[in-house]
Every structure is written in C-alpha cells, then in structure tokens.
Chains A and B, each alone.
Chain A
Amino acid sequence: MKILVCIKQILAPELAELSGRPEIKDRDKDPFLPMIPSPDDNCYRLNPFDEYAVEEALRIRDSFTDVTVDALSLGPMRCRRVLLRALEMGVNNATLLRLDRPPFSLTPFETASILAAYLRDKIYDLILTGVMAEDGMNGQTGQLVAALLDMPCATAVISERLLSPHGPIYVEREEDGGERATYEICLPAVLTIQSGINRPRYPALSHVLRARTQEIVTLEAAPLLPTPRERIVNVSRTESSTTCTFIAGSLAEKAGQFLDFCRQKGFLGP
C-alpha cells in the first residue's frame, strides 16, 4: 500500500511582524511581485493540520505490512524544511515540487493542478492532507486534487479505520456543531484531516539523525502550472475596527478599567 501526504510550509503570523499595505494592481506586469513583505525563513513552519495528516499516515503504516508513506510539498527551496520534518517524523520518501512564488500568490486551483499533474502517473491508494492551511485558510486543495484525479474525497476527517490495505476505508467527518457523518469510501481516495484526530509524534533522535542522510527529491513545478481560473488582485491589511474601544494606560489602569466596565454593566453582581 502506498500513502501520500501533501504538506505545506505556512507563514506563521505570530513569528512574523507583517506591516505595510502592499497592493497588487496588475500581476501581468510582475507576477512575482511580493504581496506581503517577505519575512525571513524562520517565519515559516509546517502547517499544523498537515502534521496531523503525517501522523495519521504513519499510524496506518504501523498497522499493516508493506506500507510506504511519501511526503510531497510545493513551493520554494525553503519548503525542504517541512519535508525534512516529515522525514524526521518517519515518512519514507520526500519530494519537493519547486516553485519560486511569494506566499499567497497561488490560488488553490493552481496548487491542486500542479499536484494533480505530478500525481497523474503515480499510483497511491490513499492521499492525505490537512483540512486547511492555517495561513491561507482556503480548505480546498484536497477536494480539488481529488476531483482532478477523479477520486472520492472526505474532508474534516476526525476518525478513520482501514480493515485491509485494499479498502474500503471507514471515515467520520466533522460537520457544523461537532456532529459526525460516517462514510464507507472506496480506495484510492483523498482524505483531508481535521485537527485533534491524533497527537502528532515528536521525532525520535534516531529518526532526526537518519533524516539528515535522506534525499529530498526536487523537481521543477513551473511547467505544471495551469491557466489560472481566478486571480488574486489586491492584498491588504484588514481595516481596523471602528467599534472596538482600546483601553489605554498602565497594566493596573487597564485592569481597573476592565473591572469598571464589567461592574457598570452589572456583571460583577450587586
């Protein structure tokens, strides 16, 4: 059985001080114009939702014999860091589809089309990915890859069970309000993994050392780019709220005003 996990390197907003108001007026003139002030490489990390997907793939591998887990990522060379992380967690092989584009300049359709074009002649029984990327918050790539490859797909998977490597796979998907819908799905299939499905492992030292010797295959992704179907044209900071009153002053003054507000509104009791 072969499992693929698609992982993304995301921009961690808490690690990057992103300021300014860059605007893209015409991407035809300069499609590589950075949209967001480019932070340094330390501001990026593995998408936490994808970490759950890697862990789930490794758990399936542990339950059967002859299972390999491959990791695939798309982006500039700095994305090798997240593939290295996947190797450290225990995946067998790692591939980078290299594309030098700034963050948030690819639409989910472009991302999924590149992944699907690469996967068209590969054979995987199961493709896992995170339910969404924490930075872009689209939550579409998995479904798009599935549709492009004509595979069934389940999103927001909070539990899965595979009785045999040939499938079918039983999944529970999380719906609004925490209710769950259960499905039996034929393989090959795509699952997008919801956070909380497992506790991702911390890489063992032996795996960390082994990962350093493993190769990360790097392929050029630019030839796989599709004709875009939608275009990101303006990127800006969200306008700050006009209704929120910020409490100013020293720490003690802020605490005092906070309590005054609660008292005035009657929340602190008589």
Chain B
Amino acid sequence: MKAGIVVIAEISVAGLTPASREVISFAGLLAESAGESILLMVPGYFPDIHKPSCHSASASKQENPPGSKGELGGFSYKEAEEIAMAAGCDVAVLAGDHLSAYSAEAWMDALSPVCREINPRFICIPHTSRGWDYGPGLAIRLEASLIGAVEGFRLDTGNFFFKRSFLKGQWQMEVLPETWPVILTILPEAKGTEAAAPLAAARSAGGRGRQPRISFLSVPAKDLRTKTLGRLPAPETAYDFSEAEVIVAAGKGIGTADNIDLIKRLAGVFPKSAVGCSRAICDPGWMEHRRQIGMTGRTVAPPLYIACGISGAMPHLAGMRNSRFIIAVNRDKNAAIFQVAHLGVVEDLSTFIPAVLELMENKKQESSDD
C-alpha cells in the first residue's frame, strides 16, 4: 500500500458520511496539485473480515476476505466494496471488534502504525466531533504537523498554505506545515468541495480510471485506558423546525435574556415561523437546548433564516448555512454571519426589531382603516 494522501473516513449505516465525502473531494483537489494518489482508510467493525483470534502487535494483512453478509451491528464485505466504489479510490479497511464504538484511543491505536508504514505527505480527516477529537493525538504519535478546521489551500512555489479562520470567522490565517506528514482536519463546506461535483476529482486523481482496490487489515484489540460504555440520544427531544418557513434565531449579540421576548415577537410577524438559537443562548439557560441550531444541535435549512445577534462562528454556520435565504441582523458590520447572508442589516436589535414591529402594526391599522 502506497499513497501520498490518506483520507480517514467515518462511516454510518448509510455508508460514507457526507463529511467524509467532502474530505475525499478536498483530497482530490490536493491530489491534483501535489501529484499524489489517494488511499481511503476506513476504521470500523467488519465482523466477517475481522479475525478475533489475532493477537499480533501490529495490524496484519488478510489475503482472502470472506464475502458473506455482515452480522448485525457491523459492516459486511459487500458494504466495504460499496464504500470503495462510492469513494472511487483505493480503500484500506481497518477492521477490529473494538472499533465498533468510537473512542479516540482505539482509533489512534489502529491508525498510527498503518499511517507510519504508508508514510503519506497528507492525512485528511473530517473536522467533525470525532475528527478533531483524535486528530491531534494522532499527530503527536506520528510526529506530524497539525492544522485544524482547514477551509482551503493554496500552492505557491512548491509550498502548501492552508487557510483557517479565527476570531469568530472575522480573521483568517495561513499555516505552512514544516514537518511531514501533515494532518489536516477539513471543515465541511471547505472551499473547493462543492457538492455539485462530488468525488469526481478524487476519481480522476486517485482512481485513474481503474477499479478501486480494497485491502483489509485486521486490527487486534489492546488493553485501552478508555472503555466505551455506549451512546445516549441528544438529551431532549429536539424541537420540530421542519414545518417552519421562517426560523428566527437568537445569538449572544441579543445582549440580555429580556431580549428573547423581542425575538419571539419578531417570529410572530411570520405566519409559519419557529424560534431557534445558538449555543451561547442555551448555556446560560435563556432558551431550551432543544432549540439549539449548529454543529452540536440541529441542522436546519428553512426557506428563510433570520440570524439575530449571531456572530457566525463555524459551529453555528454548520447548522444553518444551507437555508434558502439568510437575513443577518448584527451591530458589528464585520460579523462573519454576513459572509453567508443574502441580506444584511447593521443595527442594534433592541431598536431594529421594535421598528419592524411598529411598521407591521401601522400596516395593520392602515388596512383596517380602509
């Protein structure tokens, strides 16, 4: 197995996760610029591939994987093939009993010997709650450089510059790796990963028109200091946003808890509306957690999203950027929310919303006077 670019994928019952597919696209662009091939690594529980009796210290190759259907709770050989076909590049399946439930320690243990052996230049990981969990530790184990929440890259005189945002998206920095490999956690919606041409770049750069090859590595379980106990659903039943045509969402910029009422009154102007919020509003208890929109909350895409006092930091954008129309109201004209908004209002909410409500009231009176 050789590759200049390794992509570490996350899989669910539906196959490759959308974030993983985006990273494959990103890797495709990187592959074109760097002239490297791509290998997709898929850690997981593949019961008909994995040999539980294997206890050797390093991952051992298995030549002839059985083709039988998978058992409940794991992935079958056929599913591994489907993942490879969808990715369009060579795939290395890392199969282990202990990889059925995610833990950073188990993933780092499984991935680091294989990555060391392949010795790629780039290791691309989705910037998900898992990717940024195990990515840094993997970087230390591989003595790699590490760049998180990457939005894009630029090749200049042989150097790769990776772009990331900070200060709530208002500023950007370019980071230059000085050690190889470099581990990149790639933000969903990173530039150049448009869903319109999914994985095409990866196909041309990694697959080169031939059938993707799948190899299987059986990863023996080790005694770990992290024991996975199970999963819990999101704590409260999430609020149903699906019926709403308009979502009015509040962020930290509303200032005080008293202004929640203004947000609700603004939502009341629209016949089919719902009220949501960013994490900063739930943490002090100003609104229930089930109304939270963003990476650790709900993902919504209503016809109209009105962001009130929301700065537009990446975790919130992840949950609402696919809304059809976005109106942002914020006092700070530099707020990152305006980067994704179609219509921007630079105003203080405590004066802007009352002005809107007053106009609506006047309109009503005019029509009743008629």
Contacts and interface: CB of A to CB of B under 8 A. Distances in A.
Contacts of A245: 342-344
A137 B147 CA distance: 12
A243 B233 CA distance: 38
Interface stretch (B22-30, B198-206, B333-341): B333-341
B347 A254 contact: yes
A13 B146 contact: no
B342 A244 contact: yes
A20 to B, nearest CB: 11
B232 A179 contact: yes
- Could you say which of B140, B231, B299 has the most chain A C-beta atoms within 10 Å of its C-beta? B140
Given A153-B137, A251-B351, A230 B147 contact: yes
Interface string A244-270: 111100011011101101100101110
Contacts of B342: 243-245
Interface string B276-309: 0001101111000100100111110001100000
Given A183-B103, A231-B178, A254-B345, A135 B167 contact: yes
Contacts of B351: 251
Interface string B119-146: 0000000001110111111011101111
B146 A230 contact: yes
Contact of A241 (B104, B289, B303, B339): B339
Q: Which size class do B's interface residues fall under?
A: 35 or more
Nearest to A36: B171
Q: How large is the interface on A (under 10, 10 to 19, 20 to 34, 35 or more residues)?
A: 35 or more
B225 A108 contact: no
B234 interface: yes
Contact of A147 (B137, B284, B325, B341): B137
A115 B355 CA distance: 51
A2 B207 CA distance: 53
- Interface class of chain A by DSSP: mixed
Interface of B is mostly: mixed
Contacts of B105: 152
A196 B279 contact: yes
Nearest to A109: B146
A22 B139 CA distance: 30
A163 interface: no
A247 B343 contact: yes
Interface in B213-249: 224-235, 238, 245-246
Interface string A1-33: 000000000010110001000000000000000
A182 B229 contact: yes
A186 B225 contact: yes
A143 interface: yes
Nearest to A134: B168
Nearest to B339: A241
Q: Which 9 A-B pairs have the closest CB atoms?
A: A178-B234, A147-B140, A143-B136, A255-B355, A147-B137, A229-B145, A234-B174, A196-B283, A152-B225
Given A178-B292, A178-B298, A265-B304, 10 more contacts: A14-B332, A18-B167, A143-B133, A181-B103, A186-B225, A238-B169, A246-B338, A252-B355, A262-B269, A267-B303
24 contacts: A14-B332, A107-B175, A109-B139, A136-B166, A137-B167, A140-B146, A152-B224, A154-B226, A155-B104, A156-B133, A179-B232, A180-B232, A185-B225, A195-B283, A229-B179, A231-B175, A235-B171, A251-B351, A255-B356, A255-B359, A259-B360, A262-B269, A262-B270, A269-B271
